[in-house]
Amino acid sequence: MKRIIAPSLLSADFAFLYREIKMLNESEADWYHIDIMDSSFVSNISFGSSFVKCIKKYANKPMDVHLMIMQPERYIEQFKACGADHLHIHYEACVHLNRTIFSIKEYGMKVGVAVNPHTPVYLLQDLIQDIDFVLLMSVNPGFSGQKFIKKTYQKLEDTKDLILKKHSSALIEVDGGVNLENASLLFKNGADILVAGTTIFSNANPQKMIHRMKLGKTT
């Protein structure tokens, strides 16, 4: 089991973005998690590919881009050009998911399929062997700072079972409401990657927080 920490830039201080990137570069964080929102799939608007491009210039870690947009197939080329290393698309936002998954791979990126809290993971049974990540949403997507949905523990279990049954090598990523209290349990229960925004960026010492999350500390 990996213990990958992917801080979500949505909670960063945009006025001091370079400082935040430098802080993450020098931390034990593994990836940059970047949330793209279109005000259609989710009600919020965040930032677009030019934001990813700016971060890529200074970041020394993989860019984990989470597309919360309808018909994400329209933007694959654009995000590749801006430096995305991983592209997550939502099961609920994509009609021709098989084609989109393979298109992302053809562009040389790793691909994740994200599922909203209401979407059962058995729906991934015919694609689980084709993807690199399952992104389990542990809040309803759109905003940072929301409360973790406990049903996620069951979904984690279901995802692990599916991965095992289908001999898939997909890693499990959990996104939303992750804090020091649930992080160690999530890792223990099979999560490979944890995304955290508020918990990391609202802390007076984000680097220390990342360190504690990685170690599975609970306080």
The token pair at 40 is 């259609």
Q: Which does 11 bind (CB under 5 to 8 A by kind): ligand DX5, Zn ion, none?
A: ligand DX5
The closest of 183, 189, 201, 218 to 145, measured between CA atoms, is 201
Q: Which of 83, 112, 142, 206 binds ligand DX5 (CB under 6 A)?
A: 142
**What is the rounded end-to-end Cα distance, in angstroms, of the chain?**
22
- Cβ-based neighbours of 84, under 8 Å, separated by 6 or more: 34, 52, 63, 65, 109
By CB under 5 A, is residue 175 in contact with Zn ion?
Answer: yes
Block residue for tokens 């015919």:
126
By CB under 6 A, is residue 197 in contact with ligand DX5?
Answer: yes
Q: Which of 13, 30, 35, 130 is catalytic?
A: 35
- Among the residue ranges 56-64, 186-194, 196-204, 205-213, the one whose residues contact ligand DX5 (CB under 6 A): 196-204
Q: Which of 131, 195, 209, 210 binds ligand DX5 (CB under 6 A)?
A: 195
- Among the residue ranges 51-59, 171-179, 185-193, 210-218, the one whose residues contact Zn ion (CB under 5 A): 171-179
Q: Does 64 participate in catalysis according to the annotation?
A: no
- Tell me the closest approach of the beta carbon of residue 147 to ligand DX5, in angstroms: 9
Q: Does 175 participate in catalysis according to the annotation?
A: yes
Q: Which of 30, 158, 175, 192 is catalytic?
A: 175
By CB under 6 A, is residue 136 in contact with ligand DX5?
Answer: no
By CB under 6 A, is residue 66 in contact with ligand DX5?
Answer: yes
Separation in Å, CA 214 to CA 6, 48, 115, 193: 10, 29, 24, 10
- Tell me the closest approach of the beta carbon of residue 74 to ligand DX5, in angstroms: 20
Q: Which helix (H) or strand (E) holds 181?
A: helix 180-188
Q: Which does 196 bind (CB under 5 to 8 A by kind): ligand DX5, Zn ion, none?
A: ligand DX5
DSSP assignment of 92-145 equals GG-SSHHHHHHHHHHTT-EEEEEE-TTS-GGGGTTTGGG-SEEEEESS-TT-SS
Distance, in Å, from the CA atom of 88 to the CA atom of 31, rounded to the nearest integer, reads 14
Residues forming contacts to ligand DX5 in the complex (CB under 6 A) are 8, 10-11, 33, 35, 66, 139, 141-142, 144-146, 175-178, 195-199
Residues forming contacts to Zn ion in the complex (CB under 5 A) are 35, 66, 175
